[in-house]
Structure 1
Amino acid sequence: MSLLRLAVLASMTVSMAVAATAQQRQNPAFADPKVDPSLPNVLLIGDSISIGYMVDAREAMKGKANVFRPATNCGPTTRGLENIDSWLGDRKWDVVHWNFGLHDLKFMGPGGENLADPKAAGSHRQVPIEEYQANIAKLAERIKQSAGIVIWRETSPVPQGAAGRISGDSARYNAAAADAIAKVGGIQTDPFFAYAESISDLQRPKNVHYTPEGSKKLGEHVAEVVLKALDSRN
């Protein structure tokens, strides 16, 4: 066997090993479902909170919907505007359930530092609330073009002591989003904030994220909201 062929085979072996490792490490929340063409297609858009509940939401809708999400943390509304066309793609969506907020309201340092101290000089919210509201309206209009049912999901609470954020900002940003959604019209709202508050004991201390049990409950809540919306079509 020639040295060239040996080198090619070695390269192929390394590539296959890297691909296998990457597949093993893939977050199951980012895996596409096994599509049943007889079922409605559902797209969940959101940040790490939605990544946390994705698998549980999909399991709760098993046999009732094909449940997808972008294979990324969707971040703030600015990232949403940059990527919404690719996230929606050309699939026919029966439901798009979406949220932006925790990344918009978080504080950044003057040099782009993430989760900066809100009281530090030069700290600022990543997306000011007025810009956030305008972005939500633009996203709502775009999503309506690709979905039979659009469900805006309220942003979950920021607990006291959470780094880089101020408790109470979620409610302020939710109110701004509600105004934008109302003006666009034809969009349902998932009262996610109140539900998340009801399981606050399952939110990590001084952290916007949830325990596995909390994420499971959030996923089941999302599934209930989506399935109710699908049932209402009949």
Structure 2
Amino acid sequence: MLLRPLLLLAAIAGLCTPLPADDARADLPKVVLVGDSIRMSYAPTVISQLDGVATVFSPKANGQDSRNVLRHLDAWVIEQKPDVVHFNCGIHDTKKFHETGRFQVPPDQYAANLRAIVEQIRSRTDAVILFATTTPILDDRAAKARAGRDYALLNASVEQYNAIAREVMADLKVPVVDLNAVISSPPQPHTTGELIDADGVHMTAPARTLLGKYVAGAIREKVGTPSKP
């Protein structure tokens, strides 16, 4: 005869059981990271730094150039219903082909693509947007690593495209996270040569951690929580 009361008590107790971790995190702000292989390399540090502060979605795919980011904006950003979007694109855009002297994405088209990305995110979500500058290239290493390819990656092109991006973001009032400055003028005891890999483009382990913490700090400012040490 005691079975039914005991079952009732158990059911009531079950209603009071704390929510699973995944459900508890449903109330956290959602952050989307979009970008090229540099983003992919620092994303794990961002996720670790924002643990308990925000849920982070970082697509497995390389974002590549601005045209490709725009093409995949629905899946990578809009459908995620983000609170914060941190994006970058630029290195792939600046591929300069030896035969024609043209860029993979011409400067005017790069500007138009960036503007379209921001405008679509703003019109279709309520997310705060952050844009990250393209990290520097060490020309000698990049040329050696890409000998025989039909294109060059040059730091002068990065500077040109970062200037375009800053102008677009200033016009659209989008905060810029200056990852280029973090690597080109790094905090002690780091040096730029130590932070950029042998291929002249990608980041070494210390740089990935440095960038990840810097990006996480910029995002924390938008979700209103103090930074981790």
* Aligned match for 1:227, one of 213, 220, 223: 220
Please identify runs of 4+ aligned residues in structure 1 that moved more than 6 A.
none
User: Is contact 1:158-1:169 (8 Å) kept?
Assistant: no
Could you tell me which residue of structure 2 aligns to residue 100 of structure 1? 89
* Aligned match for 1:121, one of 91, 99, 115: 99
* Aligned match for 1:196, one of 183, 194, 201: 183
Residue pairs, 1:173-192, within 5 angstroms: 173-185=161-173, 187-192=174-179
Secondary structure, counterpart of 2:167 in structure 1: helix
- Residue 147 of structure 1, CA deviation: 3.9
Distance (Å, rounded) in 2 between the aligned partners of 1:72 and 1:147: 24
- 1:23-45: CA deviation from partner (whole Å, max 9, x where unpaired): xxxxxxxxxxx571121100001
User: Is contact 1:159-1:208 (8 Å) kept?
Assistant: yes
The structure having more radius of gyration, on CA atoms, is 2
How many residues align structurally? 188
Distance (Å, rounded) in 2 between the aligned partners of 1:65 and 1:147: 16
Alignment gaps of 5+ in structure 2: 1-21, 144-151, 187-191
* Aligned-partner residue type, residue 122 of structure 2: K
Secondary structure, counterpart of 1:37 in structure 2: helix
- Residue 58 of structure 1, CA deviation: 0.5
User: What is the TM-score with the length of structure 1 in the denominator?
Assistant: 0.75
- Residue 83 of structure 1, CA deviation: 1.0
User: Is contact 1:160-1:206 (8 Å) kept?
Assistant: no
Label 1:122 to 1:91 Cα distance change in 2 as closer, same or farther (>3 A).
Answer: closer
Alignment gaps of 5+ in structure 1: 1-33, 109-119
- Residue 123 of structure 1, CA deviation: 4.5
User: What is the TM-score with the length of structure 2 in the denominator?
Assistant: 0.76
Distance (Å, rounded) in 2 between the aligned partners of 1:74 and 1:193: 18
Could you tell me which residue of structure 2 aligns to residue 209 of structure 1? 202
* Aligned-partner residue type, residue 169 of structure 1: S
Segment of structure 1 superposing worse, 194-203 or 58-67: 194-203
CA RMSD of the aligned region, Å? 1.9
